[in-house]
Amino acid sequence: MSLHLDAEALYTELLAGVRALIVPDVVLVGVWSGGAWLAERLQRDLGLATPHGVISSTLHRDDFSSRGLGSTTDATNLPFSVDGRPIVLIDDVLYTGRTIRAVINELFDFGRPASVQLAVLVDRGGRQLPIQPAYAAARLALPATQQLALDRDDAGQFRFTVQDIQDTKEAR
């Protein structure tokens, strides 16, 4: 199966969708790593004064013991107080919802936001938890044996690759 998604066109859709979620005092928090790239560019393109934050799911994952720390243990960087602030979480691909659950737990370790909304580039369905995005630039279905991965080049342009995965437990 050959799948081609234009990540740059979807980014334009995401930008419009996130623009509609902007309220006073809002901050963007990108999920490491693809969501962080998106949040960085969204913050700039939306002209938001407060820098974006980056959050990792590593320490709150329910499969922590099998995955280990990996290389993202220092990825969380929230250069603002989350207390009482509206948060828009940004991620590249939403699948089972387990990463978002872990990220919300990590976020609440830093304080209590006024609200948390989720915006994603692609919602691929297959949820295992009751988590839905406030905005998704695209919705598609992929077999559990495939993973959709966002990448960016040196110029900051986004592209997707579809990868076959051997162990479906590795899927997010």
The 3-state DSSP class for residue 135 equals strand
Residue ranges and CATH numbers for the domains of the chain are: 7-64+73-170 (3.40.50.2020)
Residue 58: predicted pLDDT: 86
Alpha-carbon separation of residue 35 from 72, 101, 139, 143, 167 (angstroms) = 13, 15, 16, 22, 23
pLDDT at 73: 53
75-80 contacts, C-beta under 8 A, 24 or more apart:
75/32, 75/33, 75/36, 76/32, 76/106, 77/53, 78/29, 78/53, 78/54, 78/110, 79/51, 79/53, 80/27, 80/50, 80/51, 80/53
Q: Would you say residue 171 has pLDDT above 50? A: no
Q: Give the H or E element holding residue 89.
A: strand 86-94
Start-to-end CA span in the chain (Å): 21
Q: What span, in angstroms and rounded, lies between the C-alpha atoms of 21 and 44?
A: 16
Helix 7-19 × helix 34-46 angle, to 10°: 60
Percent of the chain with pLDDT over 70: 87
Looking up tokens 């990540």 gives 7
Indicate if the pLDDT at residue 152 is higher than 90: yes
Mean pLDDT over each residue of the chain, to the nearest integer: 90
DSSP 170: G
Write the pLDDT tens digit of every residue in 51-61. Answer: 999 999 888 86
